[in-house]
């Protein structure tokens, strides 16, 4: 029988997955799942903890006594931008499996462009047997923008595949085996990059950072001929009109995009039909909801023992 205040769940994910995961979660407190219609008018006044993904606009006035907010994913822009966000710690989801799956996606996309998978698919559709240039990974430099939990793991796995990997982050970093650039040296970083991988959080500083000026600074004439843009961070970090134009005019030779300014990407968006553009529906690394609830339980237990919360967002930087 639960003895503590229930945990509030407002996660705009697949309802069945949440309902299944909640069956074994929070045994000593229970939960209030806002996806469940029966909870639409439930009193949230006494709730201490909330797990959120794109929370409802009125949520924080309904739950005025929150002590900690947990994001349902690694990103927190959907919470930090929320009107009425209370001054309590916001905790990101950092998870081995999520990190691993993100790196799988990033490596897959870099290899897709290296090995010209889209061009061969097009040839195959027309029964064309023709070989295309085949550079080795070591001839290609992948520039990772954002060297946090995800960027650093992806860098290690890209290096294992043989790519030359460099990275850019706000603060200077020393990372074994790779050249790094800090916030002030973005142009030098871009000029050395053949495949740009975006793993930045969405903040005021990173909004529309991937624009025409940035694309024009990527290295032309590298082993792939033209630079490639891969984004699995946030869609609002990209100026999508500039991105489309860069692809259409050949400034970029291709792209792999998991995130978009507007999601779902509208069915008539021109990006769907541009050659050598791979599109996935914001699924590069979906949160494992069971692991998320276990993470939240562990963090709450530590918090209630007086220990520091892990992976708390810095309000000043927004990530
Ligand atoms: P972290 O907070 O661990 O890392 C963020 C990185 O971005 C840090 O290296 C940070 O620099 C850098 N950064 C932030 N702002 C700037 C800036 N203005 N200039 C330069 N560098 C900057 O985040 P994660 O690696 O865990 O996640 C990154 C993002 O990936 C998430 O915020 C989320 O939006 C996205 N994501 C997407 C998923 C998907 O399925 N598509 C799944 C999970 C996450 P510094 O190191 O100096 O602080
Ligand atoms: C996340 C995401 O931030 O899935 O975790 O986008």
Q: Considering only CA atoms, which of 281, 280, 287, 291 is closest in space to residue 108?
A: 280
| Active-site residue (options: 82, 92, 234, 244) | 234
How confident is the model at residue 230, as a pLDDT? Answer: 99
CA distance 167 to 142: 8
Q: Is 253 in the pocket of ligand 2 (CB under 6 A)?
A: no
Taking only the tens place, the pLDDT of each residue in 148-201 is 999 999 999 999 999 999 999 999 999 999 999 999 999 999 999 999 999 999
Own/partner long-range contacts of 59-64 (Cβ < 8 Å, ≥24 apart): 59/10, 59/34, 60/84, 60/85, 60/86, 63/8
Closest CA to 74 of 109, 108, 47, 100: 100
Per-residue pLDDT at 2: 73
**Does the pLDDT of residue 309 top 90, yes or no?**
yes
Q: Is 287 in the pocket of ligand 2 (CB under 6 A)?
A: yes
Cα 156 off chain centre by: 17
**Mean pLDDT of the residues in the chain:** 97
CA 27, CA 3: separation in Å to the nearest integer?
Answer: 9
Mean pLDDT of 92-115: 98
Ligand 2 midpoint to CA 287 (Å):
7
Look up the pTM and report it: 0.98
Domains belonging to the chain, first-starting first, are 7-95+287-304 (3.40.50.720), 96-279 (3.40.50.720)
- State which ligand 2 atom lies nearest to the alpha carbon of 73: 5
Q: Per DSSP, what are the bridge partners of residue 168?
A: 145, 181
Q: Which residue has the tokens 């990006």?
A: 271
One DSSP character per residue, 97-125 reads HHHHHHHHHHHHHHHHHHTTHHHHHHHHH
113 belongs to the catalytic site: no
Reported as a pLDDT band with limits 50, 70 and 90, residue 222 is: very high
Residue among 14, 13, 52 at smallest CA distance from 31: 52
């Amino acid at each position: 029988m639960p003895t503590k205040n229930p945990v509030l769940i407002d996660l705009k994910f697949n309802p069945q997955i949440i309902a299944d995961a909640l069956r074994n979660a929070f045994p000593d407190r229970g939960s209030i799942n806002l996806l469940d219609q029966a909870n639409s008018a439930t009193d949230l006044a006494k709730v201490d903890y909330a797990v959120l993904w794109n929370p409802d606009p009125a949520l924080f006035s309904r739950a005025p006594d929150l002590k900690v907010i947990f994001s349902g994913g690694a990103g927190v822009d959907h919470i930090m931008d929320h009107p009425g966000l209370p001054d309590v710690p916001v905790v990101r989801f950092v998870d081995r499996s999520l990190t691993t799956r993100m790196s799988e996606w990033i490596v897959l996309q870099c290899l897709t462009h290296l090995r010209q998978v889209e061009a061969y698919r097009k040839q195959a559709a027309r029964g064309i047997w023709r070989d295309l240039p085949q550079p080795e990974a070591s001839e290609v430099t992948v520039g990772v923008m954002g060297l946090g939990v995800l960027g650093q793991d992806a860098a290690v796995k890209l290096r294992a595949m043989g790519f030359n990997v460099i990275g850019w982050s706000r603060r200077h970093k020393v990372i074994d085996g790779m050249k790094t650039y800090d916030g002030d040296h973005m142009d030098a970083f871009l000029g050395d990059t053949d495949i740009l991988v975006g793993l930045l959080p969405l903040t005021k500083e990173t909004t529309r950072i991937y624009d025409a000026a940035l694309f024009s600074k990527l290295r032309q004439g590298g082993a792939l001929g033209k630079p490639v843009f891969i984004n699995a961070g946030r869609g609002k970090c990209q100026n999508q009109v500039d991105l489309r134009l860069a692809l259409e005019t050949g400034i970029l030779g291709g792209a792999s995009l998991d995130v978009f300014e507007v999601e779902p990407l509208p069915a008539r968006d021109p990006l769907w039909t541009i050659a050598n553009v791979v599109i996935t529906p914001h699924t590069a690394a979906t949160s494992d909801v069971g692991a998320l609830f276990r993470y939240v339980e562990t963090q709450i237990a530590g918090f209630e023992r007086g220990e520091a919360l892990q992976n708390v967002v810095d309000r000043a930087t927004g990530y």
